[in-house]
Amino acid sequence: MVVVTLQRNKCIGCNYCVELAPEHFRMSKKDGKSVLLHAVEKKGFYTLKSPDNAIYEECDQAAKACPVKIITTKLL
């Protein structure tokens, strides 16, 4: 199981996560911030839980590249 979180309100719209993990992140045309696809929102944190461990690597690359460090990844 892979768990990815995004603290969306702090996103500065740099697009790195979209470049590194395009299947999981998109830029919103509305507010220019990143959207974590298929995520559930709770108190400003968006969480994606996936049974597909293969997505961990690219989501983790996105987390490491994020300049404001608002993406976390966990492999459970």
- Phi, psi of 65, rounded to the nearest 5 degrees: -80, -20
Beta-bridge mates of residue 73 = 4
- As measured in angstroms, the least distance from the Cβ of 27 to ligand SF4 is 7
- As measured in angstroms, the least distance from the Cβ of 12 to ligand SF4 is 5
- Which residues contact ligand SF4 by CB under 6 A? 11-17, 34, 65-68, 70-71
Q: Which is nearer to ligand SF4, 27 or 49 (CB)?
A: 27
Quote the strand ranges of the chain, DSSP E: 2-7, 25-27, 34-36, 40-42, 45-50, 71-75
- As measured in angstroms, the least distance from the Cβ of 6 to ligand SF4 is 6
